[in-house]
Every structure is written in C-alpha cells, then in structure tokens.
Amino acid sequence: MALTSKRIEYLDSIRGIAAMMVVVYHFIGWRWPDYTTYHVASMIFNGADAVSFFFVLSGFVLSYKYLHSQEGMNTPNYIYKRILRLYPAYIATVIINYLYWNRVVLLDGQFATVLQDMFVNNNQQLWQELTMIKLNHKFYIPGWTLAVEMVFSLLMPLFVFLARKEIKIIWFLIPFTLVIGGHHISMFTMHFAMGILLAYYYPTIVSFDFKSSKLYSWRYLLAIFIFALFSIRHIRRIVPFGDEYDRIAKMIHLDMFHYTGIGSALILIWVINTPKIQAFLTRQIFLFIGKISYSVYLCHWLAVVFAMNYWDTLISYFDNYYVGFTTILLGVIAVTLFTATLMYHIIEEPFIKISRKYKLFYKK
C-alpha cells in the first residue's frame, strides 16, 4: 500500500467547520431546546452530532499514516505525542472554567478557600475532571468527548495492528458495538472503526468515478439520505418514531449516534471523492479555523456559558430581540475565535513543537 502519508489539509478545514457548528449549536440550544425552529436550525448547525464526525475523522487521521506507509508505529512515542496534543490545552480549559465557576468566592476575596479546594480538599472533584476519570465533567461539560477521544487514542495502536493484519477484523467491530451495549466507549468504537476503514480504503475512494457510476443518477436522493442520517436526532424530535421503535432500539442497543456515525462516514467519503469541495475547503480562512479547531472546541463553552448567565442583561441593550440574539451570537463566535487563537499559539503550538522535537521513546 504505497501512498504518501502527507497531511490532508482539507480534513483540518472540515474539522474546523464542525467545531464552529458546535459553537452555534450550544448557543441556540441553551434556552430554546423545545422550539421547532431550534430543531430545524440544529439540522444545519448540528453540533450534537459533530461529535460523531470528530470521532470518525479521528479514526481516519490517527490511522492513515500507518496504513499507507511502511513506517511502523512506535507506540510509546505515539502515546506520548497524543498526551501532549490533548492534555495541556484541556487542562488549561478546565482550570479557567473552574475559576469562572468559583468567581463569586474569588470576587469575595476568598482566594485561600479556592486554592485549598484546588490543591488539598478536592471537594469539587477538579482533579477527576483534569485527569478525565470516569467521565467526570462538571466545569467543562463537553469534556466527556475528549475522554472518549483519549481512550481511543490509546487503543489506536491495537486497531492499526489489527487493520494491517486483517482488515476484516475492523469491519467486525462495527456490528460488535451493537452487541456490547450503548456505553460511550463501546458505542463510539463503531465511529473510530469506520474512520480506520475510510483510511484503509482511501485510494479506492479517491479514484472512484462517481459520475460514471449508477449511483450518480441517485445523487440527490443520496444527499437527502446522508443529511437525514446525520440530522436524525433532530428529525426525531420533530417527528417522534413511536414507542415500538424505542422498544426495538433499546433491545438491540441502537442509539442515535450509530446513525450519525454512518452519516459522518458518508460525508467524509463524499468530501474525499470530490476535488471541488476539497479546493473550497483549502481556502485560507477554512485552513485557519481548522488549525485552531481544537482550541475553538475548548474555548467556546465558557463564551456560551457567560452569554447565557448574563442573557437578560445583554439582551436588554437591544430594542429588537432578534437583532440582540444575532449580535450576542456573533459576539460569542468572535470571542471564541479570539481566545482560541490565543490558546493555540500560547499552549497548543508550543506543545506540538515539543512533541516533535523531543522524543522520549526511540526504536532500537
């Protein structure tokens, strides 16, 4: 399988777009979750299921290099690099959110109380959250996804070994997730497995002539089908599937994330096979957002929380509610991009350079 392992830039861009979808989704979903308008908007800014996309994409990018080159995986060094990639910015995010959570105590001058809780008492379980133990996420709520990401990052050497040995084993993981139940880790095995499969079959996907295939005449129906799969969570909220479906889905451990995982994989196939989309995604603005996408995901939560905590005050400055809503949303986006840029350059980038420059584990 001789193929270049050069970074595929347009995948960074699509990750950045997904991260921005999360920002908008969390904003519009905070106070208006029961409105039909919200459900429709969530189909476009589907941050809930961008999680599925992130996991499928991670399965792809973490395995691609090793499935299309003769380079062996130095497992200890790989894990060391993943820890430096994920943890420093995450730790900074949790601490900042923790300080915001305790802002009343801090503004009251009780610094010693907060420091004692941080380093001695741990009454608020900050250390469990910092170390991603037991999906304990009180201060940075979206952090549960990073715990899943970390678990599968650690499992990736095993998955790559299995894929290199026999790709059918990775195929088997997809139905196996339905058998072992709906726990977060078992459920998202399917997503990472699909990402690995896309990486493995990447040359085939790229070279597939979609326009000359029989599928091309069905392209619009296929597009609707993919959109429906990815948005099925919100479609279901508008049009409930009924008690019988719920009973069967519970019996076979079928979750909405299973649908959105398949939808995410199909979106990736579409992008990988379409040069025009790739050209669009390699514009500088998308590449920039893609580069800071991890920090966007980390920084957006506090911006949204602040806006919602002080919503009544902020919206009172506007005579027109919809103008106020839009302005505050744009403000949240602007603050997120600004703080994400700072976090990338202050924390992410230095640790990326450290992981590349200083390798703790060498092959003999």
Q: Are 85 and 351 in contact (CB under 8 A)?
A: yes
Please say if the pLDDT value at position 193 is more than 90: yes
Report pLDDT for 187. Answer: 79
Report pLDDT for 1. Answer: 43
What is the average per-residue pLDDT within 131-155? Answer: 88
Please say if the pLDDT value at position 33 is more than 60: no
- Structural domain including 20 reads 9-357
Please say if the pLDDT value at position 175 is more than 90: no
Q: Is 213 part of any domain?
A: yes
Q: Is 273 part of any domain?
A: yes
Please say if the pLDDT value at position 30 is more than 60: yes
Please say if the pLDDT value at position 180 is more than 80: no
Reported as a single tens digit per residue, the pLDDT across 276-324 is 999 999 999 999 999 999 999 999 999 999 999 999 999 999 999 889 9
Please say if the pLDDT value at position 360 is more than 80: no
State the chain's maximal CA–CA distance in angstroms: 70
Please say if the pLDDT value at position 183 is more than 90: no
- Tell me the pTM: 0.91
What is the average per-residue pLDDT within 78-84? Answer: 92
- Residue 9: is it exposed, middle or buried by C-beta count within 10 angstroms (0-12/13-18/19+)? middle
Q: Which residue from 190, 206, 203, 195 is spatially nearest to 160, judged by alpha carbons? A: 195
Q: Is 1 part of any domain?
A: no
Q: Is 363 part of any domain?
A: no
Q: Is 364 part of any domain?
A: no
Q: Please tell me the total count of domains within the chain.
A: 1
Q: Are 194 and 261 in contact (CB under 8 A)?
A: yes
What is the average per-residue pLDDT within 37-47? Answer: 75
